[in-house]
Amino acid sequence: MTITSGKKGEKIDRLAELAAVRDDERGVSLWQEAFRRLRRNPAAIVGAAILAVFVLVAVVGPFFVPYGPTDAIGIREGVVKSGQGLIPGSSGEHWLGFDHQGRDVFSRMIVGARQTLLVGVVSTLIGLAVGALIGGVAGAAAGLGGRWGRWIDTTLMRFVDMLLAMPSLLLAVSIAALLGASLTTVMIAVGVVSVPVFARLLRGSMISQANSDYVLAATSLGVRRSRIALTHVVPNSLAPVIVQATLTLATAIIEAAALSFLGLGNPDSAVPEWGVMLADAQPYLGIRPALAVYPAVAIIITALGFTLLGEAMREALDPKLRK
């Protein structure tokens, strides 16, 4: 008996030894492997660098601006003469010169970065929250809900299809016109535009995950479908949604600037925002076109940073490219 027990113990120990994975052979998670790829991707590095500078300027920059964004310094100093078409350019003290009201453009660009970041982030979060709620319910209903679930999924997706049928900018303009011009209106309008994208993306990802082996195993063990959906299917379906959120930030910044340019943003032009600055510069293109170039270039570069990082994340998380 003792000999038999000893042999069984040796077999178990040997099995454990063979099953053990050395530290250099351990697998890595999807996010760890994606991060490794991002570190080797030049586009991801450039995009992350642009976003790091943008966020740093937006968060810290307004505390160190040399002049107040609403101070008419140029008019007080007599270098900007209202109504006479005299708007001087950059100088040693005023790096980007003045605008038509004698305000320091550099200070307004720095402070405007915070408003632009706020609009982009809040509108994306609105679209992500509402879209994830609709897509999560539809995906869970379609994948795990049976006949009644398919009915719920069909109803929600037809509503999403109605939103997708409208051009995004036209939908945003319609919402902003109904709610009235304000910064909050821009956030809501741009957020609603992105709802269908997040909803359909999460729904499709959840339906794909619902056919996985781990869902079948959990169902066989008697785990409730609601628990399977919340604790297993949803977490495993979020990767493409997170990538899309990064790409949506770029679109949100551009669409918010477009609404501000059309006069549907913050009605107070004294509050710096890149879209408002771009709109204010239109009457003075013949006198000083740089007033429109500065915010336009800032919007383009920022959107480019989000796009580069988002595309790099999409490639890094693509299972087809995993070795």
Residue 284, CB-side half-sphere exposure with 13 Å CA sphere: 22
Output the six-digit token pair for 85. 């078409």
Residue type, 224: R
Report the residue count for the chain: 323
Output the six-digit token pair for 188. 């809501």
Q: What is the DSSP-derived secondary structure letter of residue 212?
A: S
How many CB atoms are located within 10 Å of the residue 182 CB? 15
Q: Is 280 helix (H, G, I), strand (E, B) or coil?
A: helix
Phi-psi region of 266 (alpha: psi -120 to 50; beta: other; left: phi over 0): beta
Question: Can you give the pTM of this predicted structure?
Answer: 0.80
What is the rounded CA–CA span in Å between residue 201 and residue 243?
11
H helix count then E strand count, the chain: 14, 0
Output the six-digit token pair for 291. 């007033």
Each residue's pLDDT expressed in tens, for the chain with a length of 323 residues:
555 555 544 544 444 444 444 444 445 566 677 778 888 889 999 999 999 999 999 999 888 888 888 887 776 666 666 555 677 777 777 788 888 788 889 999 999 999 889 999 999 999 999 999 999 898 888 877 767 778 888 899 999 988 888 888 888 888 888 888 888 899 999 999 999 999 999 988 888 887 778 778 877 777 787 787 778 788 888 888 888 898 899 999 998 888 888 888 877 767 788 988 888 888 888 888 888 999 999 999 999 999 999 888 888 876 555 55
How many CB atoms are located within 10 Å of the residue 204 CB? 16
